[in-house]
Structure 1
Amino acid sequence: MPHLVIEYAEKLEESISIPALVSAAQQAMQSSGLFAPHTIKTRATPYRHFVAGDKGGSFLHAEVRLFEGRSDRERESLSATVFNTLCQFAEGVPAVTVEVREVDPSCYSKRLPF
């Protein structure tokens, strides 16, 4: 924990370096100072079939999942940091969104290293 999951319209792979986006987003999470760098997991998932608005445009959406305990200000700052990072890659993308979600630790399971 935390997890940063970036969802995007698959056709953006033609104009955006997804590996660079993932690296920049990982760095944004690290620069927030809210997490130990080794705990951050960032990944991206493309969507081929979707509807985004009435014209079917493209999108970038990031969901940050973290354990409870961060202040409203910390979550807002984190959201803005990730959002600004996505926007650096999103020229011409009509929908860019970020959501920060708190995970109840009692409902989260994790396999620990051996």
Structure 2
Amino acid sequence: MPHLVIEYAEKLEETISIPALVSSAQEAMNRSGLFAPHTIKTRAIPYRHFIAGEKGGCFIHAEVRLFEGRSDRDRESLSSTVFNALCQFADGVPAVTVEVREMDPSCYSKRVPF
């Protein structure tokens, strides 16, 4: 825990290095100082079919999922840090968004390695 899920318009793969975007976002999560580095899980999901606004422009959206208990200030700082990391790759991308969501640990299941 935490999970950082980056959703993006698939056509951005023509102009953006998605592996570099993922690495930059992972590093931003690490720099936040809120998590042990080995616990951060980052992944990216492309969308081929979508409608983003009236003109159907490209987008990058990141959702940070973490357990309850972080302060408002920590969540705001984390959102800003991840947002800035994504924006470094988003020249010409009209919609870049980040959302921090708290998860209820009683509703989270995880397989623990032996």
TM-score range, shorter chain: over 0.9
Instruction: Quote the offset at 1:53 in angstroms.
Output: 0.4
Q: How many Å separate the matches in 1 of 2:44 and 2:33?
A: 22
Distance apart, 1:85 and its partner CA: 0.5
Task: Say whether 1:78 aligns with 2:78.
Answer: yes
Count of aligned pairs between the two proteins:
114
Q: CA deviation at 1:7?
A: 0.1
Report the Cα offset of residue 104 of structure 1.
0.1
- AA paired with 2:42? T
Correspondence for 1:13 = 13
Q: In structure 1, what is the Cα distance between the partners aligned to 2:23 and 2:88?
A: 13
Q: CA deviation at 1:83?
A: 0.3
The residue type paired with residue 105 of structure 1 is P
AA aligned opposite 2:46: P
Please, what TM-score do these two structures have when normalized by structure 1? 1.00
Matched, 1:39 2:35: no
Q: Which residue of 2 is the match for residue 4 of structure 1?
A: 4
Task: Provide structure 2 residue ranges, at least 5 long, that are not aligned to the other structure.
Answer: none
Q: CA deviation at 1:20?
A: 0.3
Instruction: Give the SS at the match of 1:109.
Output: coil
1:1-114 pair list within 5 angstroms: 1-114=1-114
TM-score by length of 2: 1.00
Q: Distance in 1 between matches of 2:21 and 2:98?
A: 14
Write out the 4+ residue segments of structure 1 that deviate beyond 3 Å after TM superposition. none
Give the partner amino acid of 1:109.
Answer: S
Q: Please report the RMSD computed on the Cα atoms of aligned residues, expressed in angstroms.
A: 0.3
1:34 Cα shift? 0.1
Residue deviations 1:20-79, cap 9 Å, x none?
000000000000000000000000000000000000000000000000110000000000
